Amino acid sequence: MDEARRRLEKAKEHDIIVYTPHMIILRSKKAETTLSKDGRMLIKRVANETEAAQVAQQILRTVLKDALKL
């Protein structure tokens, strides 16, 4: 979770509202997302499933950026 927090802060596309060792709650534009340590992601304040998927993809790209270069 520490590394995810660092990458999200560095990208500056998201505002971290709450950080604990078990979860991160962040806001990106209108969407509010909860990332859990166990890998779950809850996306709120979106209009539809397509918008939620776009938010999830953006967050995953940011958090997994270096891991995907392997």
| CATH H superfamily, domain 2-69 | TATA-Binding Protein (3.30.310.10)
Task: Write down the residue that tokens 């890998």 correspond to.
Answer: 39
Model's pTM, two decimal places? 0.84
pLDDT band, residue 70 (cuts 50/70/90): very low
Q: Domain extents for the chain?
A: 2-69
What single string gives the DSSP state of each residue in the chain?
A: -HHHHHHHHHH-SSEEEEE-SSEEEEEETTEEEEEETTS-EEEES-SSHHHHHHHHHHHHHHHTTTGGG-
CA 20 to chain centre: 14
Q: With 60 as the cut, is the pLDDT of residue 25 above it?
A: yes
